[in-house]
């Protein structure tokens, strides 16, 4: 199956390139057909603005358009943009958003299909990684956005830690199996315990067992770290009647393990957002981390990384169920870009959206080590430039691709973001030992019920029903018995 | 004879001991203040040196206390890529306008309270209650109102909000100044044919000018530092420094550590400027103002 | 004959004329929105649902007090942070003010330098401290290491108690200068003759501090404490940048919970209701404070 898939993707990538080429070759009238026009984009952090600046020059050279980017800090972003949208107007043409907000947001976006026809736009749709195409593009069946940042989790390890003969000997003596990059949560926890507190790189430094982000900010970091365990233990967000399943055996086991292994994580982990553990990984202080794919670019960035060329990339661990390993890494939808329904410059904005999304322009954005934007086109993963951008970049990109078949999406129903953050908050309550794991998850489930009631149970049930079917198609179902037998 | 000789010697010894103790007291006083200065100014030192470090110096152990090769590259990035100049000017303009507006509006009110006990104790209690209001209770209605009036993303909108928010504190301080001001001087001027307004402008204001300066500059600082309204009511043209700083705080701080710290340095600059300008009046201003009831 | 009458009238309208600019502005920019948000607190306005909302009576209020454990918890957290912060700021501020009052040379500049933290925004202060608190790379732990006090791996937010203490520490850094200024102003307004008389009577400096400075400073202290109390109930910026309410919910203040309800959950009506619950609480607290103050004054008299 693998080679065939590879071939298909390769053809797709080629098609993507050709499409991009066609775009350039197409006589668009005079050079810079939109000379003198300025559009406004709104993004949620300075580093996103930085990423847009990477394509500014080409955009002007080809289309004659300039982008003015407004940054609204992440924590006020969605509410401020919703405020503007609800008033039936917005000062922005291009909107960047978190796809978990799509159900609350999508009605303010311009459907793209009519414009594709009208302007003969080409978004090289076939070149978009299918999982992203599934979760990031549509609102009520209509195409409304393009990915900008494809977020999934993969695992990173420091090869020095795993390959030192001394470490291997000691590990074997203690745990009676070979020291290898962990495949299961049990192995992960063993490795974290083993590596914690001593100089596994041969130094006499105090180093740590593993890295993680446990702060409940953003869309809920601790939730993203809990859910990979939860799903591999057979968990599911809701049953078909919207009854939360997060406080079932799978959830409790996942959280109990996290609480138990807290001592093996670096001090401060409870307030780590995405970047802090990455810094610890690239500085050689933690041997293990699973996190967003942008981590790999920092690993390879020799300006800051001491493990460039010495890092391994792979699948996030799973659980051994009946002799088979079940991996359920997270797809946390990242960022999308859409055109505001209230924009007065829709045509040029659509042109800009198309331009930014072209395989080679978007490649510049996802390749830059400072952007935190992750690959979302098949051609990004196959790009010869990217594959040689830093030592082992090819292995890194292959690891991303190998992860795609296992991904579990967020529960993207109305109020998805709120469900996630409420759960993330309770998870940190347990991690901070302010509540027992079961108690924390019960509270979270009660909070989820409150959200469901408020938003209308029937409406939520309908939206969730669709997601449930999608997940079933991916082979993700609730298995109440797994938590007990998972190894 | 012996006693007579003894006396001055004892006195001298006592005086010496007294001087010594005094001297010791002085040394301890200054030592205490030095410790306080280190504690209260230390963070500024760290943030300043951090903003001058190169990218490779942020996460090193032991840390780089003072960069060997200080560079302004983060400031440059801030001003070019992040349009820091725009944010900075916006903050300056909005804060200056609010400062003058707050003064112009609060002074007559304070005068009415000080001279005529206007509103009895009620007005000042009311102003105190205003201080308790969390910004979030006001933000949404003000936003909706501004949207209808077309005042979002405008200097005017923010200036009006800031002026009003600062009225309680300004009035509170100004009432103190005006109560302290000898009414006789004012009345003498009025007997000479001045109207009350002219007496206020030509006689009272010049004399309480230092106090006004304190109120004005505090208003400037308070406005400069405001965050929530600045996020919600501004657009691309009117964003302020506080918004810029928080644009660095989430998720990706480690990647733009230099810019983040540089923006903090720029953000605290006015506090330093105001502190130096107000040196002599800082305490006097507060002494004349609210602390006397 | 007509002149006094006119003067009388003038006396009536003149105060209004003087006070009117701020009254009008306050009415427009505060009273009207306040009334509106009070109305809002009885709806179920949710930004992500849309601009339309339904009237749901007092349900937001009952939810906040009866069904929202997180909000109730945040009241406790706020109280736990306010107590030590107020005490530390008062004691430290008083100490500094006393030290400053003894300094003859360079007082204005030292005062000004010490006052700077109070003029910095909470967001900035928290940002600077967040960078300093960092494990291993942060300034504080490294300084502690060189002085041999703490390890570089010391986690300032490692437990609930520690996190609260760290928040208090930053708040003390941020706001002690304000207290210091207010108290210094108070100390300077005490007539020096009182001290001279005391010294002539053979009182030690300690005695004159207890019998002159402290009693005469009572009112100033009350004013300073009350302002700080009111401001601390609005503690938001520090928490927002420094801990985000964590670890767990240990430093989640009422202002922060309200912010989350409004800006992250988009429940603007609920956030409005929470703000009114808070304002009501603070008002009660202030009245209580004033009442105790008055009671003690009455007893003293």
Return d(Cα A479, Cα A470) in angstroms, integer: 17
Which tens digit of pLDDT belongs to each residue from A161-199? Answer: 999 999 999 999 999 999 999 999 999 999 999 999 999
Which residues from chain C sit within 8 angstroms of residue A431, using beta carbons? 247-248
Structural domain spans, chain B: 2-57, 73-292
Q: Quote the pLDDT of residue B94.
A: 95
Which tens digit of pLDDT belongs to each residue from C188-209? Answer: 888 888 888 888 888 888 888 8
Return d(Cα B161, Cα B115) in angstroms, integer: 27
Which tens digit of pLDDT belongs to each residue from A283-303? Answer: 999 999 999 999 999 999 988
Q: Do C247 and A76 touch (CB under 8 A)?
A: no
- Summarize the confidence of residues A327-338 as an average pLDDT: 90
H-run or E-run covering A324: strand A324-327
* Pair of tokens at residue B93: 């303009």
Which residues from chain C sit within 8 angstroms of residue B274, using beta carbons? 119
Would you place residue C7 in the very low, low, confident or very high pLDDT band (cuts 50, 70, 90)? low
Residue A398 half-sphere exposure, CB side, CA atoms within 13 Å? 11
Q: Quote the pLDDT of residue C1.
A: 43
- Summarize the confidence of residues C18-28 as an average pLDDT: 86
Residue B19 burial class via C-beta count within 10 angstroms: exposed 0-12, middle 13-18, buried 19 and up: exposed
| B172/A contact by beta carbon, under 8 A | no
Q: Is residue C262 part of a domain?
A: yes
ipTM for the whole complex: 0.87
> Looking at CA atoms only, how far is residue A255 from chain C in angstroms?
14
Q: Do B279 and C286 touch (CB under 8 A)?
A: no
Return d(Cα A172, Cα C259) in angstroms, integer: 51
Which residues from chain A sit within 8 angstroms of residue B267, using beta carbons? none
Q: Is residue C191 part of a domain?
A: yes
CATH code for the part of the protein at A2-150+333-399:
3.40.190.10
**Domain of residue C215, residue span:** 73-300
Who wins on pLDDT, C274 or C49?
Answer: C274
Residue A149 has pLDDT above 90, yes or no: yes
- Summarize the confidence of residues B35-41 as an average pLDDT: 95
Q: Do A79 and C47 touch (CB under 8 A)?
A: yes
Q: Do C220 and B291 touch (CB under 8 A)?
A: yes
Which tens digit of pLDDT belongs to each residue from B254-279? Answer: 678 888 899 999 999 999 998 888 88
Q: What is the mean pLDDT of chain C?
A: 88
Return d(Cα A443, Cα A453) in angstroms, integer: 15
Residue A259 has pLDDT above 90, yes or no: yes
Return d(Cα A374, Cα A362) in angstroms, integer: 10
What is the tally of structural domains in chain C?
1
Beta pairing class for A324-327 and A311-314: unpaired
Interface partners of chain B (CB pairs < 8 Å, 3 or more) are: A, C
Which residues from chain C sit within 8 angstroms of residue B130, using beta carbons? 26, 30
DSSP, residue by residue, chain B: -HHHHHHHHHHHHHHHHHHHHHHHHHHHHHHHHHHHHHHHHHHHHHHHHHHHS-GGGTT-SS--SS-SS---HHHHHHHHTT-HHHHHHHHHHHHHHHHHHHHHHHHHHHHHHHHH-TTTTHHHHHHHHHHH--HHHHHHHHHHHHHHHT-TTSHHHHHHHHHHHHHHHHHHHHHHHHHHS-HHHHHHHHHTT--HHHHIIIIIHHHHHHHHHHHHHHHHHHHHH--HHHHHH--TTT--HHHHHHTTTSSGGGGGHHHHHHHHHHHHHHHHHHHHHHTTTHHHHHHHTGGG-
Q: With beta carbons less than 8 A apart as the criterion, state whether C97 and C180 touch.
A: yes
Which residues from chain A sit within 8 angstroms of residue B150, using beta carbons? none
* Pair of tokens at residue C217: 């400073």
Q: What b/e sequence results for B263-275 when a residue is b if at least 16 CB atoms lie within 10 Å of its CB, and e otherwise?
A: bbbbbbebbbebb
Q: Whose CA is closest to C118, among C183, C169, C180?
A: C180
For residue A263, give the DSSP letter: G
- The partner residue sitting opposite C246, judged by closest CB among A78, A270, A421, is A270
For residue A299, give the DSSP letter: H
| B73-292 carries CATH number 3.40.50.720 | no
CATH of the domain at C168: 1.10.3720.10
Residue A430 has pLDDT above 90, yes or no: yes
Q: Quote the pLDDT of residue A28.
A: 47
Q: Do C123 and B227 touch (CB under 8 A)?
A: yes
Beta pairing class for A311-314 and A153-158: antiparallel
Residue C236 has pLDDT above 70, yes or no: yes
């Amino acid at each position: 199956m693998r080679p065939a898939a590879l071939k298909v993707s390769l053809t797709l990538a080629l098609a993507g390139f050709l499409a991009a080429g066609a775009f350039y070759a197409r006589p668009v009238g005079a050079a810079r057909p939109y000379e003198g026009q300025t559009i406004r984009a709104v993004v949620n952090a300075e580093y996103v603005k930085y990423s847009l600046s990477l394509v500014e020059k080409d955009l002007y050279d080809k289309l004659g358009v300039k982008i003015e980017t407004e940054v609204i800090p992440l924590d006020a972003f969605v509410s401020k943009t919703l405020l503007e949208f609800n008033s039936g107007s917005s000062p922005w043409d291009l909107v960047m958003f978190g796809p978990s907000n799509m159900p609350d947001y999508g009605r303010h976006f311009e459907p793209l299909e009519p414009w594709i026809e009208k302007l003969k736009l080409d978004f090289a749709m076939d070149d978009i990684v299918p999982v992203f195409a599934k979760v990031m593009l549509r609102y009520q069946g209509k195409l409304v956005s393009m990915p900008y940042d494809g977020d999934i989790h993969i695992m990173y390890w420091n090869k020095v830690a795993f390959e030192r003969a001394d470490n291997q000997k000691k590990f074997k003596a203690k745990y009676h199996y070979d020291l290898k990059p962990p495949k299961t949560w049990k192995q992960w926890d063993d490795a974290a315990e083993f590596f914690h507190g001593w100089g596994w790189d041969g130094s006499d430094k105090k180093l740590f067992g593993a890295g993680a982000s446990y702060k409940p900010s953003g869309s809920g970091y601790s939730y993203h770290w809990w859910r990979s365990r939860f799903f591999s233990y057979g968990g599911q967000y809701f049953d078909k009647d919207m009854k939360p399943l997060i406080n079932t055996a799978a959830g409790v086991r996942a959280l109990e393990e996290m609480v138990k292994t807290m001592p093996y994580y670096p001090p401060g982990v409870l307030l780590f957002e995405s970047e802090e553990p990455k810094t610890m990984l690239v500085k050689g202080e933690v041997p293990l981390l699973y996190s967003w794919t942008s981590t790999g670019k920092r690993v390879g960035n020799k300006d800051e990384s001491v493990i460039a060329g010495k890092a391994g990339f792979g699948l996030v661990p799973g659980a051994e169920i009946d002799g088979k390993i079940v991996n359920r890494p997270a797809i946390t939808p990242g960022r999308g870009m859409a055109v505001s329904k209230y924009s007065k410059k829709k045509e040029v904005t659509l042109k800009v959206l198309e331009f930014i999304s072209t395989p080679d322009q978007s490649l510049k954005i996802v390749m830059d080590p400072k952007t935190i934007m992750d690959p979302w086109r098949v051609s990004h993963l196959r790009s010869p430039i990217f594959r040689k951008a830093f030592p082992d970049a090819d292995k890194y990109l292959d690891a991303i691709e190998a992860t795609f078949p296992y991904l579990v999406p967020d529960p993207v129903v109305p109020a998805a973001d709120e469900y996630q953050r409420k759960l993330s908050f309770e998870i940190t309550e347990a991690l901070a030992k302010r509540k027992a794991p079961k108690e924390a998850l019960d509270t979270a489930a009660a909070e989820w019920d409150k959200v469901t009631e408020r938003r209308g149970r029937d409406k939520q049930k309908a939206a969730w029903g669709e997601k449930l079917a999608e997940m079933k198609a991916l082979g993700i179902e609730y298995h109440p018995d797994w938590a007990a037998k998972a190894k | 004879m012996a006693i007579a000789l003894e006396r001055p010697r004892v006195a001298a010894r006592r005086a010496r001991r007294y001087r010594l103790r005094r001297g010791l007291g002085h040394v301890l006083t200054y030592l205490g203040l030095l410790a306080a200065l280190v504690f209260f100014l230390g963070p500024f030192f760290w943030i300043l040196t951090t903003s001058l470090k190169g990218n490779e110096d942020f996460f090193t152990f032991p840390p780089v206390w003072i960069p060997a090769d200080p560079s302004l590259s983060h400031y440059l990035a801030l001003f070019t890529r992040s349009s820091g100049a725009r944010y900075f000017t916006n903050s300056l303009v909005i804060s200056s306008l609010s400062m003058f507006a707050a003064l112009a509006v609060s002074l007559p009110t304070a005068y009415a309270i000080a001279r005529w006990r206007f509103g009895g104790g009620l007005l000042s209690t009311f102003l105190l209650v205003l201080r308790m209001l969390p910004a979030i209770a006001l933000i949404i209605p003000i936003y909706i109102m501004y949207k209808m009036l077309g005042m979002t993303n405008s200097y005017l909108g923010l200036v009006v909000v800031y002026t009003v928010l600062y009225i309680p504190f300004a009035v509170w301080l100004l009432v103190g100044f005006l109560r302290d001001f000898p009414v006789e001087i004012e009345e003498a001027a009025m007997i000479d044919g001045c109207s009350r307004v002219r007496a206020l402008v030509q006689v009272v204001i010049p004399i309480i000018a230092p106090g006004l300066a304190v109120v004005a500059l505090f208003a400037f600082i308070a406005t400069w530092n405001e965050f929530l309204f600045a996020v919600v009511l501004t657009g691309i043209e009117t964003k302020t420094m506080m918004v810029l700083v928080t644009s660095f705080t989430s998720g990706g701080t480690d990647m733009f550590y230099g810019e983040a710290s540089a923006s903090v340095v720029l953000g605290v600059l006015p506090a330093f400027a105001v502190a130096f300008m107000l040196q002599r009046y800082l305490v006097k201003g507060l002494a004349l103002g609210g602390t006397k009831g | 004959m007509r002149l006094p009458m006119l003067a009388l009238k003038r006396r009536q309208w003149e105060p209004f004329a003087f006070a009117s600019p701020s009254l009008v502005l306050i009415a427009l920019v505060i009273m009207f929105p306040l009334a509106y948000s009070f109305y809002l607190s009885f709806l179920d306005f949710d930004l992500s649902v849309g601009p339309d909302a339904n009237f749901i009576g007092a349900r937001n209020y009952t939810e906040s007090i009866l069904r929202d454990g997180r909000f109730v918890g945040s009241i406790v957290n706020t109280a736990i942070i306010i107590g030590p912060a107020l005490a530390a700021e008062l004691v430290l501020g008083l100490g500094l003010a006393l030290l400053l009052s003894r300094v003859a040379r360079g007082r204005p500049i030292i005062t000004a330098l010490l006052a700077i933290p109070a003029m910095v925004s909470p967001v900035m202060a928290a940002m600077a401290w967040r960078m300093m608190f960092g494990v291993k790379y942060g300034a504080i732990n490294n300084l502690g290491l060189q002085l041999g006090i703490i390890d570089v791996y010391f986690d300032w937010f490692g437990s609930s108690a520690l996190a609260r203490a760290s928040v208090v520490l930053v708040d003390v850094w941020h706001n002690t200068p304000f207290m210091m200024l207010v108290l210094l102003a108070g100390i300077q307004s005490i007539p020096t003759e009182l001290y001279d008389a005391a010294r002539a009577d053979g009182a030690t400096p300690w005695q004159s501090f207890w019998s002159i400075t402290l009693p005469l400073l009572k009112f100033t202290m009350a004013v300073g404490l009350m302002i700080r109390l009111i401001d601390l109930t609005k503690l938001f910026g520090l928490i927002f940048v420094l801990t985000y309410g964590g670890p767990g919910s240990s430093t989640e203040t009422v202002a922060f919970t309200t912010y989350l309800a409004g800006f992250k959950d988009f429940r603007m009506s609920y956030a409005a209701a929470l703000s009114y619950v808070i304002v009501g609480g603070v008002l009660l607290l202030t009245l209580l404070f004033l009442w105790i103050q008055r009671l003690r004054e009455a007893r003293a008299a």
